[in-house]
Amino acid sequence: AYPDDPDARALDGLEVRPLWRETLWAVLPEARALRHRGPLALRDLADDRWIAGCVRCRRHLVSACARSGFAPATSFETDNAAAAVGMVQAGLGVALLPSLALATAPLPRGVVRRRISGVGERVVHVVTAPGGSASPAVHASVQALARLRVGDWELRRA
């Protein structure tokens, strides 16, 4: 979930347990990244074309860009992280991807990820029906997830 997710109300009445927090990364061509040697802010990418993600990811991108004073020029949309990285490599735009997505899509030569201010972070939750955590199967699953070594995926405990 993103901090500005309007769909969060759909979780009302459900058991929601935050597990991990993850960084959102700017993914851009290396040559483009070299133009910004210091800290990168979302506003620095205002003139770039964007490769947007799924509906929620795109909504977060648009909201974060609006807070930074611009509307992103979206060239392409995909919910496939590897495809987004490939589009960045092809010079079709820049992307905003979370750590978990990048764990599934290694960056090829010529593509880099950079920390970027102004985008917040994403929180990964376990969501169950009311009383779901009382189920032995759900409890065991949540405990197994909690024991994962999430540092390998650059996640932090929520």
**Residue pLDDT, tens place only, 83-115:** 999 999 999 999 999 999 999 999 999 999 999
pLDDT score, position 76: 96
Is residue 90 in some structural domain?
Answer: yes
pLDDT score, position 100: 92
158 residues of the chain, pLDDT tens digit each: 777 677 778 888 999 999 999 999 999 999 888 787 778 999 999 999 999 998 888 999 999 999 999 999 999 999 999 999 999 999 999 999 999 999 999 999 999 999 999 998 999 999 999 998 899 999 999 899 988 888 888 889 88
Pairing mode, strands 94-98 and 15-29: antiparallel
pLDDT score, position 61: 95
Is residue 146 in some structural domain?
Answer: yes
Reading the block at residue 132, the tokens are 């779901």
Task: Tell me the pTM.
Answer: 0.86
For residue 51, CA distances in Å to 6, 14, 44, 78, 107 come to 21, 32, 16, 7, 15
Is residue 102 in some structural domain?
Answer: yes
pLDDT score, position 133: 85
Is residue 1 in some structural domain?
Answer: no
Distance CA 94, CA 52 (A): 9
Is residue 59 in some structural domain?
Answer: yes
Reading the block at residue 52, the tokens are 């947007």
Contact 32, 94 (CB under 8 A): yes
Reading the block at residue 45, the tokens are 């990418």
**Residue pLDDT, tens place only, 126-137:** 999 999 889 999
CATH of the domain at 100: 3.40.190.290
Contact 17, 93 (CB under 8 A): no
Q: Name the domain count of the chain.
A: 1
Domain span at residue 22 reads 6-157
